Amino acid sequence: MVNLKKLELKSYYDSFIRTLNNKKGFGKVFEILIRVISLLLFPIVYLILFLIKPFKEIRLGFLYNRRIGHLALNTDLFIRSKKIGSVSSDPWYLFFAYEPANRQLLKMIKRELNVIDSEWLTKLFAPIGLFRTSFWQPLPFLSNEYKEFNYPSRSLHFTKQEDLFGKGELAKMGVKDGDWYVCIFARDEKYSNTISANTDNSSTDHRNGDIDTYIPAVKYIVDRGGYVIRMGHLVSKEFGYKHEKVVDYAVCCRTDFMDVYLAKNCRFHLGTASGGSDLVHVFDTPFVGVNWEIGRGPIKNNEIFIPKTIKYKASGLEVAFKTQIEKIGKIPIEFGLCPEEILNDLGMEIIDNTSGQILELVKEMFSRMDGSWVVSNAYLHKRQEYQDILNYYHHWFAEAHQNSTIGKDFLMKLDLG
């Protein structure tokens, strides 16, 4: 049945208006026409699916194709969920997409799922999702799907031909077969403001970071013999450190294919919470997260992170972690999308991680990977205190943090309150 209580007409309308504003000439006519036709055909499509259901249930879904992070994580979560049985394998699933954020990623997804890459067919069948019918297959992602992301092995793979091509492209950057490299990424406002020029993107600015704060960590990686490849698409500035083993790939030579290939094959990825980092989770690549949102954490066992710091604006003193979570837990919205104005009303501000904090986290990742990492009782005790605060003040934060590993140096200096 159609669930009229869950109609998302406003979001559908807003999406339509944004799309219409970006169209010109016949494009506007097509957009209006296809939306009208889709609504007229909806009862027929629904009836056909209903009549077929006794013989074979068909579920239709729509990939989050416009942002690479959602295209990667939401889709991969569905694939992994099917593997472990949390999503039924009985129905026949068909997905729609068009103008994907990354063409190579969609190509690899199509090896695992039935996907139709067509703008007009996507919009023609859109009411199946709009009206939240029983034939719609949603693709949620809540950032707490630890079971799905840590137990089944990855699903997306390169062919032998693609792997050879990727090695050739790496060689052009100076990274030869047998060399190793680390990818780095810092979210900034350039990408969102370019692809969503008609949208106010300021509510996610608190996830941004300054790529140049990575310079000490990059020097450390190079001193250990590695290459460093700066990732990104439409970045605000060039990377401030020049070295023969540092490739500013985001500026010089970015391609859809290499975005995916580099994420899969790097030793680890150093980055912020953004689509530019999300590809590594799909490929089970070790991840070092910096400038993370308060109350969140990465979702895999081979990932470590440190959050941003929150300080009182008046005194400049750090807000104790217990106070942060207590205050934030009372805000009636998800803090992952919380604009800085809300913290301003609390007399607080977000401070980015320092170069020193980032360097220490990178050193920790190397220690964990080479087997020299030693876990102290003091660290384990304080980590438990940290988790207890989350458990007490906010259930969602506690659930989202249950397997996250916060960096030792940062945690030991953190005022828990």
31 with 108, same domain: the answer is yes
349 with 202, same domain: the answer is yes
Residue 192 pLDDT:
60
Token reading at 342: 């809300």
Burial classification of residue 308, based on how many CB atoms lie within 10 Å of its CB (0-12 exposed, 13-18 middle, 19 or more buried):
buried
Q: Is residue 390 part of a domain?
A: yes
Quote the pTM value. Answer: 0.89
Residue 24 pLDDT:
64
Q: What count of other Cβ atoms lies within 10 Å of the Cβ of residue 345?
A: 9
CATH number at 212 reads 3.40.50.2000
Q: Give the separation between CA 376 and CA 352, rounded to whole angstroms.
A: 27
Total count of domains within the chain: 2
The whole domain housing 69 covers 4-150
Per-residue pLDDT of the chain (417 residues; tens, 9 = 90+): 334 344 455 455 556 555 655 666 666 777 788 888 999 999 999 999 999 999 999 999 999 988 899 999 999 999 999 999 999 999 999 999 999 999 999 999 999 999 999 999 999 999 998 888 999 999 998 877 888 888 778 899 999 999 999 999 999 999 999 999 999 999 887 666 556 555 555 556 677 889 999 999 999 999 999 999 999 998 999 999 999 999 999 999 999 999 999 999 999 999 998 888 999 999 999 999 999 987 778 888 899 999 999 999 999 999 999 888 877 655 544 444 455 667 788 898 889 999 999 999 999 999 999 999 998 999 999 998 988 887 776 655 555 555 668 999 999 999 998
Residue 6 pLDDT:
44
DSSP 145-183: -HHHHHSSPP-----HHHHHHHHHHHHHTT--TT--EEE
At which of 117, 150, 183 does a domain end?
150
327 with 404, same domain: the answer is yes
Residue 154 pLDDT:
87
Q: Is residue 155 part of a domain?
A: no
Residue 276's Cβ-side half-sphere holds a number of Cα atoms within 13 Å equal to: 30
Categorise residue 174: left if φ over 0, alpha if ψ from -120 to 50, beta otherwise: left
Q: Is residue 342 part of a domain?
A: yes
Residue 22 pLDDT:
62
At which of 150, 176, 199 does a domain end?
150
| Helix 215-223 × helix 355-370 angle, to 10° | 30
146 with 189, same domain: the answer is no
Q: Is residue 179 part of a domain?
A: yes
343 with 209, same domain: the answer is yes
Residue 178 pLDDT:
94
Burial classification of residue 279, based on how many CB atoms lie within 10 Å of its CB (0-12 exposed, 13-18 middle, 19 or more buried):
buried
143 with 165, same domain: the answer is no
Q: Is residue 240 part of a domain?
A: yes
Residue 114 pLDDT:
98
Q: Is residue 352 part of a domain?
A: yes
Token reading at 315: 């005194």
260 with 134, same domain: the answer is no
Q: Is residue 409 part of a domain?
A: yes
Residue 298 pLDDT:
84
- The answer to whether the Cα torsion of 242, 244, 248, 253 is positive or negative is positive
178 with 302, same domain: the answer is yes
258 with 237, same domain: the answer is yes
266 with 318, same domain: the answer is yes
139 with 10, same domain: the answer is yes
Residue 300 pLDDT:
85
Q: Give the separation between CA 336 and CA 141, rounded to whole angstroms.
A: 13
Strand 287-292 and strand 227-230: the pairing is unpaired
At which of 150, 185, 212 does a domain end?
150
132 with 169, same domain: the answer is no
